[in-house]
Amino acid sequence: MPDWLQRYKEKIKTPSQAVSTIRRGDKVFIGSGAAEPQTLVKSLIESAGRLADTRIMHIMTLGVAPYTEEKFTDQFRHNAFFIGANTRKAVAEGRADYTPVFLSEIPALFRTGQAPIDVALIQVSLPDRHGFCSYGVSTDVVKSASESAVKVIAEINPQMPRALGDCFINMDDIDIAVPVNEPLLCAKRDRADDVARRIGKNIADLIEDGSTMQMGIGTIPDSVLYNLTDKKDLGVHTEMFSDGLMELAQKGIINNSKKSIHQGKTVASFCMGSKELYEFVDDNPAIEFHPTEYTNDPFIVAQNDKMVAINSAIEVDLTGQVCADSLGSMFYSGIGGQVDFVRGSARSKGGKPIIAMPATAKDDAISRISVRLQEGAGVVTTRGDVHYVVTEYGAAYLHGKNIRERAMALINIAHPKFRAELLKGAKKLNYVYADQKPTPETTVYPEEFETTMVEKDGTKLLVRPIEPTDEEMLSDMFYDLSDQTIINRFFSMLKSMPHRRLQEFCVIDYEDEMSLVVLHGKRPKQKMVGVGSYHMNPSTKRAEIAFLVADDWQGRGIGTYLMKELVKIARAKRIRGLTAEVLRDNVAMIALMHKAGVTPRSSIVNGSYLFTMDLQD
């Protein structure tokens, strides 16, 4: 018999015997998430009569938290490093505390003694033949808490998976062992609604092949993963490993083959989900669990090229301040790892920090995008850290943008019924132009008209409906045009394209008006190289069309592509016909009129050609 096994047998106690060693006034840590030691927590409550002022600390746990009940006020006081559903009411009523702190920095609080731990109540796997137990589904802050505690009391559970990585504790470091045999706590998986699915698609569009991802649990992360089935060679470096990530790993979409560190390995600090998930991580060499001080270290995160961090928010103001832990002055959750991963991914080569949230709350009664954060709301991610904000209405890129650009970008992805109100608030604070046109409340961006044009040399160009935030790109394109191109489009030599005129092109209703822009490159370095537009006369149901292509991109089929796409859209909108006025020496435009797939009629009006095309039989 190995020496450690004999020592292990000597450490075995019943739950009540183990908990009886906890003294009045002790500071007690409880294991996290699905690894909460349920039997020990139950015994702790049963012994409440002999305890007083026992301080209990943890991050989120899945089980019940009876020590926060009002009847135990004299016996227990809870301090949450992250507020879960089981402790939220107590924190809100002042019967429990909340410590706002980055998840990556909690271990240092334990190790330095700033947050001393007398007793750590944890749950681990059976010891292996060398006497090592795995922290299983929760290494996170449990490892540092166990290594910092004066006393470690551990449930030894054969149903706890033997996770691999930097996630083991030797039996010699466990003071009291309590054998249990009970299922781990599971997290319910909710069905995604239409809003979550649309947000998921918008985020998935930002994720490239070979990216490494961080995300949490819930309908939005699941919706992102659902939309990644056409991606290749994705990797994972995250706090939480979920059922959705497991499913993509089983399909081979997540294989970690392109990771710049821990190549071939998924890296996480805990997992929470189904029994199948827990079985999947058991003794799985493709998954490594590491403590939070490693997984969440922004300098480690940044070493992953193309790192995509996806985190949620409660509210975002028009300057880009992100509130993620409170509803006004009521603390709701915690800082968690959001800032760790936002800053880490921002410093990653090709990285993308993404904040995701529905555009509204309370059945569309409240806009989550606000002129100002609610009174008392805390800023988790600062306006200097924020990059992408994504709702069901699109993605706004804010980093390096001025306040006017940020406000317009965020208003553009707010719920349409709140956009006028948000614009009014922005004008009052002088965030935007005083004459900025609002978009009609009924205006919904027609995502279905987005296409990709592939040139003969393989260059891919994004073709999509114009947006109010495209002013800057349109302005840049205009000032790069030759005099002749400007004359061909505007019939005179325009010297300037000020905001008041730009917004006439960019703020449209997508019904009577339609403009498609052609973009080269990827955000945030996209460049506009072409525009095709029509404006319909409601009385005649006919629309006038016009095109503008950057000089360096002319003769490459962009005009023809735009013409054909506009004809498709016009037909779908039941527009009767198209007209175009063309200067007689604009040979390229004259040729374009014959490439629409519709036979044009032409006449000369005021020295120019007037082309007419009928679209409806």
SS3 labels along 537-566: ECCCCEEEEEEEECHHHCCCCHHHHHHHHH
- Overall size of the chain counted in residues: 617
Rounded to whole angstroms, the Cα distance separating 229 from 254 reads 10
Q: Are 124 and 136 in contact (CB under 8 A)?
A: yes
- CA geometry: angle 164, 166, 171, nearest 5 deg: 85
**Contact at 8 Å (CB) between 354 and 308?**
yes
Angle between helices 219-226 and 243-250 (to 10 degrees): 10
Task: Show the tokens assigned to 456.
Answer: 């003969």
18 CB-side CA count, 13 A: 31
Residue 206 DSSP one-character state: T
Task: Using the CB atoms, write b or e for 541-579: b if 16+ within 10 Å.
Answer: bbbebbbbbbeebeebebbebbbebbbebbeebebbbbb
CA–CA dist 397, 261 (Å, integer): 27
C-alpha angle 420-422-428 in degrees, rounded to nearest 5: 105
User: Distance between CA atoms of 35 and 62, rounded to whole angstroms?
Assistant: 8
Cα separation, 519 vs 527, whole angstroms? 5
Q: Which two tokens stand for residue 85?
A: 């559903």
Contacts of 448 (CB under 8 A, 6+ apart): none
Q: Which residue has the tokens 């005021």?
A: 606
Please say whether the beta carbons of 328 and 374 come within 8 A.
yes
Structure tokens at 368: 């989550």
- Rounded to whole angstroms, the Cα distance separating 338 from 96 reads 23
Distance CA 200, CA 180 (A): 40
Grouping H, G, I as helix, E, B as strand and the rest as coil, residue 243 is helix
Sheet containing 212-214, strands listed edge to edge, beginning at the edge strand earlier in sequence: 235-236, 212-214, 307-312, 352-356, 388-391, 394-397
Fill in the amino acid letter for 189.
R
Catalytic residue among 155, 239, 467, 565: 239
Query: Is the CB of residue 36 less than 8 Å from the CB of residue 61?
Result: yes
How many Å apart are CA 565 and CA 543, to the nearest integer? 14
Q: Is 511 designated active site?
A: no
Contacts of 58 (CB under 8 A, 6+ apart): 29, 30, 31, 32, 36, 80, 81
- Cβ burial of 362 (10 Å; 0-12, 13-18, 19+) is exposed
* Kind and range of the H or E run holding 338: helix 338-346
* Phi (first) and psi of residue 354, to 5 degrees: -125, 130
Among 425, 428, 519, 513, smallest CA distance to 469 is for 519
Q: Which residues are catalytic?
A: 239
